[in-house]
Amino acid sequence: MSGGPPGRRGRAPRRLQQSGDGCDLHLTVDLIGVRREAADRVREGDDLRIELVHEGAAVGAICRNGEGAVVGALAAFPGLTRLLDCLAREVPFVAHVEEVSSTRCVVTVSRTDP
Amino acid sequence: MIIVGGSYREVCAYPEWDRIYGSGGRAAVAVSGLAPGSVLHTYAYSGWAADVRATMASFGVRAEVVEIEKELVFEYYHPLSKEPVPKASAGLPRITVSGEVVLSFGMLEGPATVVAGRAVHDPQSDSPEAAFSASGSRAGELAYVVRDYMLAAADSSQEAMDVATRIMADEGASVVVARHAIGGASVYVGDTKPRLVPAYISDTWFKIGSGDVFCAAFAHYWGERRLDPVEAADLASRSVAHFNDGHRLPLPAPHALSALVPQPDTAHGGRVFLSGPAATLPQRWLLDQARWWLLDLGSEVFSPFHEYGERLAASAGPALAGLRACTAVLALADGGDPGTSAVIGHARAVGVPVVVLAEAVAATDLAVHAGMSCEIARDFTTALYRAHLAGMR
């Protein structure tokens, strides 16, 4: 079969290449542990704030809606550690909402500084 | 709990999905809230092993990772269509674990050796090498979780019960749980008749990894909480329904699963009228896929295209008569096929439930379907699932 492996749609939403500081990330993922109450107040096209959270020795990344409520977590994708490292260096990122329902929230993560 | 299982990259085209889970990773995240302090033992590609560790750490799971040089990727067009299983390199170091409660999965990289007080094992295949005992594993009590087709004996005179009993004898298992394709399970304990655990309804059906989630929940409730195996399997089935609705992890506590509704308890899967255009290769391919997977789920299928072929244009009358004998319609609506629109209208007029697959149809164009109380599914797998369920009601 031509056209590449079946799982790939042919577009390239994930960009993990190094550019300068290594934080030129651009990826589309769905959030883990979506919280229904917070997701219900999110619309397609919204921008979610991405924050680092520390729990003991563990570090994770979460997305908050405009009211500050946690919508879900960013995890389980290639490039997570690079994103965490960039967030730790205070490189700003935003999660643009592509699809949202009470149980699912798909976001595109990209940096916001010039 | 200790979890032993693979960490693999999973890439799906529709719905779009590109994640690092695998059975081990998914099960560990699934029980992270229910079983704090869990540990995952896994193999992982060196290119994203750090991402596995970071993911597990963010859910409070410690990851013991054996890094490998080959990336193992499962590719899907849609969640039911797993393409050929990737092959791991040979000669990798074996993982050995011991603990009070261990959940182990068969892995592409080779079996782990487990020593446990209570173990739950999902071999993931019917290969002899994937059997619990084949790697020298042993447990005080063992539950074996398999897909129901794995209890179909090569010898047709044997029943599933016989195969389950043989697994108990060969592997020293006290419980065998056979998961059903659409959810739910049959639980075999000793030589008594299997107890059926229902599947529970979810709004959408993601499917990738639902077996991993079942095993994770069952291992927690049977292994750690020491519930009766039927009760544990019921909570596992409810957990799967929760998960299916958008790949929701980690799993919630049991009280959050109490409102779930069981799927209809019928011996047959209903009869689904399949309608969609077939003018192009992609349209024909989708019709064929829908027919195949509905049959696989257990529905009967009446598809005028497959029934009448070249005579379809002259067979509108018999096709509509066939519709009245069906218990649900699956309409493949992308492309605005007039024939399918007519079928939808006719079905609703005679009270037959309709599920519309609309992956790329504007919401405004679906208003008429919604107005006729059709169910709208935005992905193929969910459309199949909803049509199958609608047919059973």
pLDDT value for A12: 42
Residues 6+ apart with CB under 8 A from B90: none
CATH 3.40.50.450 fits B271-392, yes or no: yes
B207 or B3: whose pLDDT is higher?
B3
CA nearest to B48 within chain A = A78
Domain range B2-257, CATH architecture: 3-Layer(aba) Sandwich (3.40)
Which residues between 15 and 74 in chain A have a beta carbon less than 8 angstroms from any beta carbon of chain B?
28-30, 32-34, 55-61, 73
Residues 6+ apart with CB under 8 A from B328: B270, B271, B272, B273, B352, B353, B354, B355, B387, B388, B390, B391, B393
Closest partner residue to A34 among B25, B74, B248, by Cβ?
Answer: B248
The whole-number pLDDT of residue B133 equals 96
Chain A residues with CB under 8 Å of B282 CB are none
User: Is the pLDDT score of B170 beyond 80?
Assistant: yes
**What residues in B contact A80, CB-CB < 8 Å?**
51, 54-55
Which amino acid type is present at position B92?
Answer: L
Q: Quick one: pLDDT band at residue B335, thresholds 50, 70, 90?
A: low
Tens of pLDDT along B274-284?
Answer: 999 988 999 99
Residue B9: name the closest of B43, B38, B41 by CA: B43
Nearest to A76 among B12, B25, B50 (CB): B25
Percentage of chain B surpassing pLDDT 90? 70
Return the minimum-mean-pLDDT range out of A14-28, B16-30, B342-356. Answer: A14-28
Cα(A43)–Cα(A100) distance, integer angstroms: 7
Nearest CA in chain A to B32: A33
Residue B28 with chain A: CB contacts under 8 Å: none
CA distance A110 to chain B (A): 17
List the one residue out of A13, A9, A24, A22 whose CA is nearest residue A77.
A13
Q: What does the domain layout of chain A look like in residue ranges?
A: 26-111
Domain spans of chain B?
2-257, 271-392
Domains B2-257 and B271-392 share a fold: no
Q: Do B57 and A58 lie within an 8 Å CB cutoff?
A: yes
- Find the mean pLDDT for residues A5-9: 57
- Asked if residue A107 lies in contact with residue A63, where contact means CB atoms within 8 angstroms, the answer is yes
- Answer yes or no: is pLDDT of B108 > 80: yes
Query: Is residue B154 scored above 70 in pLDDT?
Result: no
CATH, range A26-111: 3.30.70.2330
Taking only the tens place, the pLDDT of each residue in A19-75 is 678 899 999 999 999 999 999 999 999 999 999 999 877 889 999 999 999 999 999
Question: Quick one: what percent of chain B has pLDDT higher than 70?
Answer: 97
The shortest CB-CB distance from B19 to any of A34, A58, A77 is to: A77
Reply yes or no: is the peptide bond before residue B15 cis, omega within 30 of 0. Answer: yes
Please give the ipTM for the structure prediction. Answer: 0.86
Per-residue pLDDT averaged across B96-111, rounded? 96
| Res. B153: pLDDT tops 70 | no
| pLDDT, average across residues A74-93 | 95
- Whether A76 contacts chain B with CB within 8 A: yes
pLDDT over 90 at B299, yes or no? yes
